[in-house]
Each structure stands twice: as structure tokens, then as C-alpha cells.
Amino acid sequence: MQITSAQNSKLKLVKRLRSKRGREAEARFVIDSQRDLRRALDCGYRVDFLLRCRELDELGDLGCEILEVSPQLLQKVSYRDNPDGMVAVLRSQLPKGRLWLEGAEIDSALLLVGLHVPGNIGALLRSADASGCDAALLVDCALDLYNPNIIRNSTGACFLDNIYQLNVGEALEYLGSAGLEIVAADVAGSSLYDESFAARTALVLGAEDRGLSGDWLANAHRRIRIPMAGRAADSLNVSVSGAILMFELQRQRHHNR
């Protein structure tokens, strides 16, 4: 089927899905990258319909309605400046909360507390997967996992089935019951490279502008920082800091087995 009008209902739906409110109301979200679409499909997501302005043989049979549009119309509804020849609308999955953690085998976890920049969340989910973290817990996070910048910066890691969304009370209760050592990132903590970490750890990161609250610092078994040697730079972006911390914790975890 060919769509030629910007007033088409499918195109209007795609525009609505740019916002969190629209995504929650429709229980759908948008992907405009073939790479991210393949990874969503690998994680069990289903495509509702797909808009394309050229042939996409490399995606195979998607089992959904495929609609032809002009490059100009595709650009109007795409979130990114240079869409990858397609825009796909997929069905959302319900977020996993505290109950989903029952029985989960988690020896290493990343907790993101109150983060509000989608690009940072996406990049940290990507690093969590790359470093081998068993789970990522989003704590008191107002963003949804289907934010386009989370999808893009996670390179598809946001579609994995080991991501959970909790409030602070649920997160602290879970960590206590699971017996994970709480390692909090804190500028007043000890040097990362002076510490030896337990085999089962939960790394906790706060937002760049606020850090972690007193509750988290009080409940932490360790508070660590990355030593800075710069003359002007006295800190790192949270996504960069988190990657360094995760890979060091995982290095020690595997080295000490």
C-alpha cells in the first residue's frame, strides 16, 4: 500500500509515538534504525506495521503490514534526521517490577537512581550488557525504555529481558534480600583501584547533578570514586564513569574466581 498524504492516520500515529504520553497511551513505540529493529526482533518484540521508502531485503519477512512512503514523508515522521529507509512501529512490553526479580539469578547488577538524561541511560545499558552485568535496575526513573534516545544510545540493549524498574524502597529491599554488596559511586569515596570487591555486587549510580541521596550512601557497603589526574577536568560524564566502574568490577569478579 502506498501512503501519499501527511494526514494519513498511520503517519499521525507515528508522530504521537514521539512522546512518552503517546507511547503509553498506544502501548507502542517507534524504531527508525534497521540495526535496532533486528535486535528488538531478536528479543521477541513484534512489529505492528512498517513504513519504508526503499526495499529492505536484509530484514527478511517481518510478518506485518508494510506501507510505502516517499523519503520526504518518512523524514517528517522519523525522530532522527537521517532515517534508515524505514520507520517501524512495535508493540511495547510491560515494564518488569520487583516481583520479576524473585528467583532471578543475579550476581552483578547496575542500578541507575534518578537518572533523567535518556542518552546516558541508553549508553549505560549498553555498557552493562557489554561488561556482563546480569541485570540493570532503573530506580525512580521517570523515563520509559522506549524513549528514542535510550533506544539509539543503548544500540538495542534496552530490549533485553534483564531490565527492571523499581522505586527506591523496592530496590533497597531487594538488594538486602539478595545479599548483594552495594557499591555506591561517590566523589568522596575511596579510589576504585584501592578496593577489592565481592563476587556479588550491585553498582549504584546517581544523576550527574545530584549524585546519590543520603539513604543510598548510608546503605552502601562501599563508596568508591574514579581518581582524577586532569588539570581542568575533575569529573566524567556518568555514562563514561559507569562504564569504567562496571568493567573494573567485572574484571575483579572474573579474576578472583
Please determine, for residue 93, whether its predicted confidence score (pLDDT) is greater than 80. yes
Q: What angle do CA 88, 136, 37 make, to 5 degrees?
A: 15
For the chain, give every residue range classified as CATH 3.30.1330.30: 2-91
CATH 3.40.1280.10 fits 98-256, yes or no: yes
Q: What is the mean pLDDT of residues 184-207?
A: 91
pLDDT band at residue 256 using 50, 70 and 90 as cut-offs: low
pLDDT band at residue 253 using 50, 70 and 90 as cut-offs: confident
N residues, the chain: 257
Please determine, for residue 54, whether its predicted confidence score (pLDDT) is greater than 70. yes
Q: Assign 17 to helix, strand or coil.
A: coil
Cα dist. 64→47, 91, 148 in Å?
6, 12, 21
pLDDT value of residue 57: 63
Phi, psi of 150 (to 5 degrees): -70, -45
Q: Assign 200 to helix, strand or coil.
A: coil
The per-residue pLDDT for range 21-44, each reduced to its tens digit, is 999 999 999 999 989 999 999 999
For 148-164, give one letter per residue: b (16+ CB within 10 A) or e: bbbbbbbbbbbbbebbb
Q: Assign 87 to helix, strand or coil.
A: strand
Q: What is the mean pLDDT of residues 162-168?
A: 96
The per-residue pLDDT for range 209-242, each reduced to its tens digit, is 888 998 999 999 999 999 988 878 878 899 999 9
Q: Give me the residues paired with residue 90 across strands.
A: 29, 47
> Which residues, 6+ apart, have CB-to-CB distance to 111 below 8 Å?
136, 137, 139, 171, 175, 202, 203, 204, 205
How many helical (H) and strand (E) elements, i.e. helices and strands, does the chain have? 9, 10
pLDDT value of residue 53: 87
The x, y and z cell numbers of residue 51, run together, are: 513504513
For the chain, give every residue range classified as CATH 3.40.1280.10: 98-256
- Tell me which residue of 92, 101, 112 sits closest to 40, measured CA to CA: 92
Q: Are strands 181-191 and 222-225 parallel, antiparallel or unpaired?
A: parallel
| Gap between the terminal Cα atoms of the chain | 57
pLDDT value of residue 75: 87
What is the topology classification, in CATH, of domain 2-91?
60s Ribosomal Protein L30; Chain: A; (3.30.1330)
The per-residue pLDDT for range 58-84, each reduced to its tens digit, is 667 788 888 999 988 888 888 877 778
